[in-house]
Amino acid sequence: MMARAKALGFLVIVLLAAAASGQDREKYKSPYSVKFSFKQEELVGDLLKGPRADWKDYAAVPFAQWDNPANQERWSYRGPPAKHFNPPSGLSSKSPQWSRERVIAAGMKFIGYSYQHHHVPDWDPPKDWPRDPEQTTPPAKGLDCSNFTAFAYNLALGIKPTGDIKMQAAMTEVKGPGPNRTIPVRRIELPSALEDYEKTLLTGDLLYIKNSRGELSHVVLWVGDIGRSPDNSPLILDSTGDGNYDLTGREIPDGIYLRPFTPRSWYYRQASHALRIIPEDKK
């Protein structure tokens, strides 16, 4: 039991030690964490060591072409497209809970990356690359909200949602596991009471948020019962801009972080619906 606890604790530490950039990221210490129920090697061994851990192999084109000026007009500020990963070895024999936790673990691999309208998290655009006119943070490694959720599912399970937020929110099926399959997606209507969210949603569900105009504009990963918050707030994992605060009152930097789902948060006040890609456990 002690060895298992140490393995799980080490997993959280490794996944939180992402390549953050900027002084604020280096100084920020999150009060939130995740406690996985699977051993590190079983859950994410291939994401920490081996071909699936090599960020230079994350795009649909070779790494040598990522910064090729000839691709600037075709890719614009979004950079190289993400590859479609094959499903991980033995996926068909894994439980739904393993798949759900693996999606969160894959997403946590990029904690500390900034908010960027990119397809591939480790693409760091050259100085002469076209700039996103709506980007408020300096160009760097990172993903936006829907490309983050898409990449987490893709890297974890070989399931590749679109990175377009409105199209992703309307999915009834999704490509994967692997490039030559599709699986159904279930829409989940949300409860009115905050306390019922934890009864309704499962780890890894995609939760969609509307903006002040009532338009779908954001998506997060629901962390669920593996999340750990000192005040017991439910947690989500997403990539967004600044303006969000943790329970200590500290502003959470922009980009990919664990964030609280509270009554006052825009996540709760503007929530639209959820999508479930990973089915419930078979009874």
Domain contains 231: yes
Residue 281 lies inside a defined structural domain of this protein? no
Q: Provide the number of structural domains found in the chain.
A: 1
Count of C-beta atoms within a 10 Å radius of residue 203: 22
What CATH number did the domain enclosing 213 receive? 3.90.1720.10
Q: What is the pLDDT of residue 281?
A: 74
Residue 150 phi, psi dihedral angles, 5° rounding? -65, -40
Question: Which residue range is the domain that position 35 belongs to?
Answer: 2-276
282 found inside a domain: no
Whether the CB-CB separation of 95 and 157 falls below 8 Å is answered with no
Q: What is the pLDDT of residue 23?
A: 45
Render each residue's pLDDT in the chain as its tens digit; 283 residues: 334 334 444 344 344 444 444 446 778 999 999 999 999 999 999 999 988 999 999 999 999 999 999 999 999 999 999 999 999 999 999 999 999 999 999 999 999 999 999 999 999 999 999 999 988 888 999 999 999 999 999 999 999 999 999 999 999 999 999 999 999 999 999 999 999 999 999 999 999 999 989 999 999 999 999 999 999 999 999 999 989 999 999 999 999 999 999 999 999 999 999 999 999 875 4
Query: Residue 61 burial (CB < 10 Å; 0-12/13-18/19+)?
Result: middle
Does residue 59 fall inside a structural domain? Answer: yes
In a domain, 283, yes or no: no
* Strand ordering across the sheet containing 235-240: 186-188, 271-276, 206-210, 216-222, 235-240, 255-260
Cα separation of 129 and 132, whole Å? 10
